[in-house]
Amino acid sequence: MAIDPELRKKLQIFLVAAIVLAGGRAAYIVYDRYEERKEDERPKQEKALNADYYVTPRKLRPYDLKSARELTKQPVWVKVGYGNTYYPYDVARHKAEFGREAGTLGPLQKLQIQDVVRDVAPLAPGVKQILARFEIEGKAYVVPIGVENGGDYKIYSDDMFFVQDPHELYQHWSAEVWKAIDGHEVRPGMSELQVGFALGLGAAEGAGEYGSRTLHYANGGKPVRVTFRNDEAVEIVPGS
């Protein structure tokens, strides 16, 4: 039976529209499932990317001389390298030589605090310095960790030291990153926190948010200039 040409044309148009509609629906289903898969994977990616935010170092929260001596019960690691000056200490006389700087504590330098003591600095005779005593190569030194004024203590050792091994706190970092940190080196892709652990205190150049700025690191006399983008080191050049 012959089909009317007009009817055949309408049927062809209908079939083409049906095919286009079906193809569009299939494409939408594929796209929708792809987006769902991305949403499922995004929290995992964000968690891996921001794992540092989940690290919560233990704090001692010392409030007097006795509680500050909890620092002696485990090693400590310096949080901010080249940011804290230490001084020679005469154990027999119980006196710090504040007029003679011995150096600055290095990045993640490991110390065994032997005691926490008090002494008076010549430039602030009315305030007693709270000092953490340690040894380097058999010689005694102290570093200020707080003050005491009329029985009121302000101790900031939690801001100065880790009381847990940073290698364990940040064990999600790769072995290559830790090798660079331990060798006080910077490699492309390292975060601002990782570079700080490697080189110590940095000074910002101009404006810029954390992780997206340029920092100058004195690096114990070997200055380095590092530019970060999206919290990754993208340019590393000698500083001045």
Is the model's pLDDT at 42 over the cut of 60? no
Task: For domain 65-162, give the fold.
Answer: SH3 type barrels. (2.30.30)
* pLDDT for 239: 86
- Percent of the chain whose predicted confidence (pLDDT) is above 70: 80
Is the model's pLDDT at 94 over the cut of 70? yes
**In whole numbers, what is the pLDDT of the chain averaged over residues?**
86
Residues 149-170 as b or e (16 or more Cβ within 10 Å = b) = eeeebebebbebbbbeebeebb
Is the model's pLDDT at 203 over the cut of 60? yes
Is the model's pLDDT at 225 over the cut of 60? yes
* Predicted model pTM: 0.77
User: Mean pLDDT over residues 108-120, rounded?
Assistant: 97
Structural domain boundaries in the chain:
5-49, 65-162, 173-238
User: Nearest-CA neighbor of 234 among 215, 206, 207, 209?
Assistant: 215
HSE (side-chain half, CA atoms, 13 Å) at 157 = 32
User: Nearest-CA neighbor of 135 among 166, 108, 110?
Assistant: 110
Beta carbons of 141 and 148 less than 8 angstroms apart? no
The better pLDDT of the pair 54, 29 is held by 54
Structure tokens at 84: 């804290």
